[in-house]
Amino acid sequence: MSSAQEHRRAVVLVSGGLDSATVLAMAVDEGFVCTALSFDYQQRHRCELQRAAAVCQSLGVSDHRTIVLDPTPFLGSALTDGGAVDSGTSATDEHIPDTYVPARNTIFLSMALGVAEGIGATNLFIGANAVDYSGYPDCRPAFIDAFEGLANLATKVGVQHQSFQVQAPLLHLTKAEIIQRGVALGVDYALTSSCYEPSAQGVPCLSCDSCVLRAKGFAEAGHTDPLTEATS
């Protein structure tokens, strides 16, 4: 692989959702040789990882890696200080908070940075969005900028060349604008999953916040959602 090619390698966080599918298509369209990265953290809906794989395949990205991450150590402790530990305690859905991997984007980007350093990629793509997720600290421009700065302090390549870039191309886009970009790039949104509570077969509920946001985005974008079209 030539040096020029190496500088065009990217690691792209891919969840199986609409946003990250669009980001992957953007990165491919920009000519990056992409390594897609997903996380298996005992999601309720395993279909997400299958969707991520399908998205990668449809966009011709053959290097798709999944990092297994046990969320148990991240759960709030039931331990009393110095007290006895209930050996029967285990992580269940009931004990897992909604945002059950705190510091989530920091962890995901750190992993992406590790993968990138290993393969000689200097671009990290993430589908963070500050419009619909303004309440999340780690979806804001200041966080993205700070992580990029950290990446260039934390790694040998970064220190030597200040070359790491964190690309968050959806940061300031509305859902409709994201969908328009994706449709223009030929993203097959039928492969993606957005629902918080899909059926066992992966059929979206159409009533959760995420489904509502998606439906509104497609309506505003003037497109039909192939996912709900297929299931309606």
Q: Does 106 bind a second copy (CB under 8 A)?
A: yes
**Half-sphere CA count of 51, side-chain side, radius 13 A:** 27
Q: Per CB under 8 A, which region of 43-51, 64-72, 172-180, 200-208 contacts a second copy?
A: 64-72
Q: Does 184 bind a second copy (CB under 8 A)?
A: no
Nearest to 127 by CA among 11, 9, 10, 13: 13
Question: Of 68, 93, 201, 230, which lies in the binding site for a second copy, with binding defined by CB under 8 A?
Answer: 68
How many residues in the shown chain lie near a second copy by CB under 8 A? 59
Q: Does 24 bind a second copy (CB under 8 A)?
A: no
3-state secondary structure of 33: strand
Beta-carbon neighbour count of residue 78 at 10 Å? 10
d(Cα 67, Cα 81) in Å, to the nearest integer?
32
Contacts of 85 (CB under 8 A, 6+ apart): 79
| Interacting positions 30-59 with a second copy (CB under 8 A) | 33, 35, 37
What are the distances in angstroms from CA 103 to CA 91, 93, 100, 107?
A: 19, 19, 9, 6
124 membership: H or E segment, kind and range: strand 123-125
Q: Does 63 bind a second copy (CB under 8 A)?
A: yes
Question: Of 6, 134, 159, 212, which lies in the binding site for a second copy, with binding defined by CB under 8 A?
Answer: 159
List of residues contacting a second copy (CB under 8 A): 1, 5, 33, 35, 37, 60, 62-63, 65-70, 72-77, 79, 81-83, 85, 101-107, 109-111, 113-120, 137-138, 140, 142-143, 146-147, 149-151, 153-156, 158-159
